[in-house]
Structure 1
Amino acid sequence: MPHVDLDPEHWQHTHVFDEGNPLAERNTRWVVWLTATVMMVEIAGGWIFNSMALLADGWHMSSHALALGLAVLAYAAARRYAHDPRFAFGTWKIEILGGYTSAMLLLGVAALMVFQSVERLLAPTPIHYDQAIGIAVLGLVVNLVCAWLLRDGQGHHHHHHAPQPGHGHEHQHDHWQGDHARHHDLNLRAAYLHVLTDALTSVLAIVALFGGKLWGAAWLDPVMGLVGATLVSVWAYGLLRDSGRVLIDAEMDTPLVDVVRETVTRLPVPARITDLHLWRVGRNKYACILSLVVSDPIEPGTVRQMLGQHPQLAHITVEINQ
């Protein structure tokens, strides 16, 4: 009888499928401090100069500071609990949950923008153009710096895991090209959208304020607010859709499903798929459970080895029924 290695160290593998995004985490932390500083300056200035516009913008920024802080906490929590055995497939979805919550906050910001804009359309208030333009320019500069910091963190990270026995981690060149938008850091995208929302608000405010100052078109200010709210809602919906799909494992329409099916047709024995589950456990990593009915004997390890040629498949479980 052949010797079987029963050493658990030989067969166990890590459930850390995503290496995190240290650059994005560090840059997001910087953005939180920048946003919080400008927020406090605006709120203090609003109280001192008795400016409602300044106060409103300061509290508006506070919602973004909260969301950005949430993004940093999500990164930190995912890293801290990375090896906690309670998380069956790792902690990457903590980051996705952070992105989803940020998207909900973005919808709240959009609703607030609509409320304030309609209120100003119905009951216009005097606008101190020079002071308001100065504030809007300051906000725009800070947000462009923040956007540059967060954009820098969205680069693609190429990492390789050491192969684990029997788990299909065969890193060969893979011809499958998935939807790259799905593989972005959704937590970082949420933070980036909050900064873009602030920048957009500042740009629209500057345009509206100059229009009001030069041509007396005071109605431009609330109208631009409604335009901004519409764009923010569209961004928030996109983020909710993408992060929500990951959270509820609604990704069986990924092209990788077709790749798995095509791989099964190339097995050395006739086989039919009776059950297939594919879900995301990292930015570009999927877990796969595959159940096959075969007419001739075949080892599950053979199937895992063929599927392991696709590096997107990070955790493969194969069941054979003859």
Structure 2
Amino acid sequence: MNEFYEAPFKAEHDHVFLGEGHDSNGRKTWAVIALCSAMMLAEIVGGHLFGSLALVADGMHMSTHAGAMLIAALAYTYARKHANDPRFVFGTGKLGDLAGFTSAIILAMIAMLIGYEAIDRLLSPLPIRFGEAIPIAVLGLLVNILSAWLLSGDDHHGHSHGHSHGSDQHGSHDHGEEVQYIETSAGALALSIFEDGVPPVFRIKAERGAAGLSAHDVTVTTVRPDGKRQVFAFAMVADFLQSTVEIPEPHSFEAMVTLADGEHTVSFAEHAHGADEHGVDTRDHNMRAAYIHVIADAAVSVLAIIGLLLAKTFGWLWMDPLAGIVGAMVIANWSYGLIRDTGANLMDISTDDAMAGKVKAAVDAAGDQLIDLHVWRLGPGHFGAVVSVVTEEALRGPDFYHRLLWRLNGLSHITVEVRTLRAA
């Protein structure tokens, strides 16, 4: 018997897969655009008034900087405006990746232009007007430092997951927990690593009618990749069990949970770079691209100042173009990394198996077989999954697996196919 189910069992359901701090990041980007535009106008007007070609040239350079920021800002605005547009089948969460990819291409072009100009100057040195060039480079650095400050900082106001995560279906858990769910003959149990302001410990809590937890009947044995094992005993605290000793770092291991009905195995993975406290990839590549633009410009300014000072002090005119070549190489490297990461998301390439591993562990813990799984990134902090399961339990339909998987933080859209094996 095959059952296919697309819509989740909850009434609330939309496709708003925007990242944490989306609106705040948009406002920051518009603020940087205003700063760069004001600087651009001041340099161009001042250059014409005072007859400084260098000032006009830097003003034109600032216009390209503002243009790159404009791509990021428009992406934030468009993504928010069309977040509920049904024409976007999986929402507008990937617009940030598209904007980041575009910005990365622009960065690569800037790196090539800087490199070409630097090599040309190295082969055909030109006289440098140090009195104008150095102050302009310093001013540009100050503007970039201010822009970086405006773009920096993390917002922690929660995700817009586009789904209701009510306590009636998900249980109640504190922040700082990575949760794995175990199906037992007596009901569901939630095993978590709790580390919110305290040394990391295991916690086990009964869910969906499970009762009769006893500290004497529960142990957890961790098995790390190197084969090292550690056994954890538990004590009753309020309405949950808590391990009596803390869990050593890193938190990447198999956990064998011994209960009255037998042994259950779940997996915990160490949080990846760019992940939140639940190990979910929340990186906003649109903001990352804007920030890299600013930092790249600041790096070029620093190198330019160093090159100009050495050229002025020792007469090494070749130091200025050499600094430009180094700057071009640094920008090209950052551009490559941004193209690689945003391109992977746009092409739905799975670069992190953490979420897929959690889905597999949840299905395995239920005693069923996962025969097909597709997990992809919908936006910062949001993943979609298509799951195909074979079970021998005739009463387990798609709703069972939706309830099971919906607890995984960051899994925002789930499609389930269930195949029930009939007895011969």
Fold shared per TM-score above 0.5: yes
Q: Kindly indicate whether the alpha-carbon contact (under 8 Å) linking 2:108 and 2:332 is maintained by their aligned counterparts in 1.
A: yes
Output the CA distance in 2 between the equivalents of 1:48 and 1:96: 41
Output the CA distance in 1 between the equivalents of 2:15 and 2:270: 24
Output the CA distance in 1 between the equivalents of 2:384 and 2:46: 52
Q: Which has the higher Rg, Structure 1 or Structure 2?
A: 2
1:151 aligns with 2:249: no
The aligned residue for residue 35 of structure 1 is: 36
Larger displacement relative to structure 2 (40-49 or 311-320): 40-49
Query: Greater strand share, 1 or 2?
Result: 2
1:285 aligns with 2:285: no
Residue 305 of structure 1 is aligned with which of 391, 403, 408? Answer: 403
Q: Which amino acid aligns with 1:265?
A: D
Q: Kindly indicate whether the alpha-carbon contact (under 8 Å) linking 1:171 and 1:309 is maintained by their aligned counterparts in 2.
A: no
| Per-residue deviation, 1:48 | 4.9
Structure 1 residue runs of 5 or longer lacking an equivalent are 1-7
The aligned residue for residue 243 of structure 1 is: 342
The aligned residue for residue 272 of structure 2 is: 179
1:314 aligns with 2:412: yes
Structure 2 counterpart SS, 1:134: helix
The aligned residue for residue 103 of structure 1 is: 104
Q: Residues 116-159 of structure 1: CA distance to partner in whole angstroms, max 9, x if unpaired?
A: 1011001111001121111011111111000000013x444424
1:262 aligns with 2:361: yes
Structure 2 vs 1, CA of residues 9 and 266 (structure 1 numbering), >3 Å: closer, same or farther?
Answer: closer
Q: Kindly indicate whether the alpha-carbon contact (under 8 Å) linking 2:384 and 2:411 is maintained by their aligned counterparts in 1.
A: yes
Q: Residues 230-259 of structure 1: CA distance to partner in whole angstroms, max 9, x if unpaired?
A: 110111111111111111110264311111
Output the CA distance in 2 between the equivalents of 1:265 and 1:66: 50
Q: Which amino acid aligns with 1:293?
A: V
Structure 1 counterpart SS, 2:178: coil
* Percent of paired sites with the same residue: 42
Q: Which amino acid aligns with 2:418?
A: I
Q: Residues 45-65 of structure 1: CA distance to partner in whole angstroms, max 9, x if unpaired?
A: 444555554344333322221
Q: Kindly indicate whether the alpha-carbon contact (under 8 Å) linking 2:10 and 2:164 is maintained by their aligned counterparts in 1.
A: no
Q: Kindly indicate whether the alpha-carbon contact (under 8 Å) linking 2:9 and 2:402 is maintained by their aligned counterparts in 1.
A: no
Output the CA distance in 2 between the equivalents of 1:10 and 1:232: 47
The aligned residue for residue 328 of structure 2 is: 229
TM-score, normalization by structure 1? 0.88
Q: Kindly indicate whether the alpha-carbon contact (under 8 Å) linking 1:174 and 1:309 is maintained by their aligned counterparts in 2.
A: no
Q: Kindly indicate whether the alpha-carbon contact (under 8 Å) linking 1:246 and 1:280 is maintained by their aligned counterparts in 2.
A: yes
Report the count of equivalent residues: 310
Q: Which amino acid aligns with 1:208?
A: G
Output the CA distance in 2 between the equivalents of 1:41 and 1:28: 20
Structure 2 residue runs of 5 or longer lacking an equivalent are 1-7, 180-268, 275-280
Structure 2 counterpart SS, 1:138: helix
RMSD: 2.4
Q: Kindly indicate whether the alpha-carbon contact (under 8 Å) linking 2:17 and 2:160 is maintained by their aligned counterparts in 1.
A: no
TM-score, normalization by structure 2? 0.68
The aligned residue for residue 95 of structure 2 is: 94
Q: Kindly indicate whether the alpha-carbon contact (under 8 Å) linking 1:60 and 1:109 is maintained by their aligned counterparts in 2.
A: no
